[in-house]
């Protein structure tokens, strides 16, 4: 696992049970600013969770209760060490363009700005503490939110709200983000991880391959016609029908017991 000079692990990994993994950005003194080492560590964890058949869902959070992630480490960029913050496979932070089939939940406390907000947008769901704030301040520095901000935010929030966030550079509080549908849950900060874990358990109670296929089809359908979306759904169902879990679901229902998902 990548470390800073003080030997702290930059990204922590823990399994919570119920097929849930907890991933924690852990560069608190630098507000979780993304440098090459953090990007490499996060990319490796994405690969690890994708490859682990026992992990059905992942929660991404921060060890710093005042900031989720402040974006790119501009001091590293200015010093010429910023090339690694974008990886060939994962893009910014080794994450925003990573090929992921399993659902990720961002659990956000404090500031999620610039690339930090873009990491949230790359996740599938967001749970926010009531003190969280989300923003894309890039235009204030003559930059473009090119790690997903300008193209993902308008697909997630209402058009005018998304455009206001993008072109003013001003952040919005968690309550407003929840009201416009950008955030799935808003809770007191002390309840953040519990709320994210409860949401993850709702996911992991389901057949994992059906979840992955449904998530993939839903995301791909956002940019295609109804006819193409229908085909994506039918193709996903064909693949699910070929799994052992497709037999287990109806069998468990008939036998009046909880299903035992194998992920195969």
pLDDT of residue 78: 64
Burial class of residue 189 in the structure, from the number of CB atoms within 10 Å of its CB (0-12 exposed, 13-18 middle, 19+ buried) = middle
Mean pLDDT of the region 167-186 = 97
Confidence of residue 5 (pLDDT cuts 50, 70, 90): very low
Residue among 79, 146, 81 nearest 117 (CA): 146
Q: Respond yes or no: is residue 118 known to be catalytic.
A: yes
For residue 24, what are the β-bridge partners? 12, 61
Mean pLDDT of the region 70-75 = 86
pLDDT in tens, 101-142: 999 999 999 999 999 999 999 999 999 999 999 999 999 989
| β-strand pairing of 67-69 with 111-113 | parallel
Sign of CA pseudo-dihedral 69, 122, 115, 180: negative
What distances in angstroms separate CA 160 from CA 122, 153, 163, 164, 165, one per listed residue? 20, 11, 5, 6, 9
Confidence of residue 77 (pLDDT cuts 50, 70, 90): low
**Residue 187: how many CB atoms within 10 A of its CB?**
19
Of 15, 44, 54, 118, catalytic: 118
- Distance (Å, whole) CA 237 – CA 191: 36
- Indicate whether 3 pLDDT > 70: no
Of 15, 50, 109, 138, catalytic: 138
Mean pLDDT of the region 23-32 = 94
Structure tokens at 65: 């209760």
Q: Respond yes or no: is residue 213 known to be catalytic.
A: no
Mean pLDDT, the chain, integer: 92
DSSP secondary structure letter of residue 93: T
Confidence of residue 152 (pLDDT cuts 50, 70, 90): very high
- Indicate whether 255 pLDDT > 80: yes
pLDDT of residue 6: 43
- Indicate whether 4 pLDDT > 90: no
pLDDT of residue 93: 95
Mean pLDDT of the region 227-233 = 92
Mean pLDDT of the region 206-223 = 93
Instruction: Spell out a b/e string for 99-109, using b for 16 or more CB atoms within 10 Å of the CB, else e.
Output: ebebbbbbbbb
pLDDT of residue 226: 92
Confidence of residue 79 (pLDDT cuts 50, 70, 90): low
Question: Rg of the chain's alpha carbons, rounded to an integer?
Answer: 19
Residue among 144, 189, 185 nearest 167 (CA): 144
Map out the domains of the chain with their CATH numbers.
11-204 (3.90.226.10), 208-254 (1.10.12)
- Indicate whether 168 pLDDT > 80: yes
């Amino acid at each position: 696992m990548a470390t800073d000079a003080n030997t702290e692990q930059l990204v922590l990994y823990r399994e919570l049970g119920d097929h849930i993994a907890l991933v924690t950005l852990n560069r608190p003194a630098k507000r979780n600013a993304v440098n090459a080492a953090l990007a490499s560590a996060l990319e490796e964890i994405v690969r690890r969770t994708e490859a682990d058949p026992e992990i059905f869902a992942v929660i991404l959070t921060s060890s710093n209760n005042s900031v989720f992630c402040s974006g790119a480490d501009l001091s590293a960029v200015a010093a010429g060490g910023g090339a690694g913050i974008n990886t060939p496979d994962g893009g910014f932070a080794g994450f925003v363009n990573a090929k992921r089939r399993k659902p990720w939940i961002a659990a956000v406390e404090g500031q999620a700005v610039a690339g930090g907000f873009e990491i949230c947008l790359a996740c599938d769901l967001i749970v926010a503490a009531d003190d969280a704030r989300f923003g894309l301040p890039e235009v204030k520095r003559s930059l473009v939110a090119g790690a997903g901000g300008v193209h993902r935010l308008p697909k997630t929030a209402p058009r005018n709200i998304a455009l206001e966030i993008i072109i003013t550079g001003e952040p919005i509080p968690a309550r407003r983000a929840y009201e416009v549908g950008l955030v799935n849950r808003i809770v007191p900060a002390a309840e953040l991880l519990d709320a994210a874990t409860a949401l993850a358990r709702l996911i992991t109670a389901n057949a994992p391959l059906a979840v992955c296929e449904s998530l993939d089809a839903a995301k791909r359908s956002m940019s295609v016609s109804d006819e193409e979306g229908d085909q994506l759904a039918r193709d996903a169902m064909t693949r699910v029908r070929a799994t052992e879990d497709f037999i287990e679901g109806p069998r468990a229902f008939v036998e009046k017991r909880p299903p035992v998902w194998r992920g195969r």
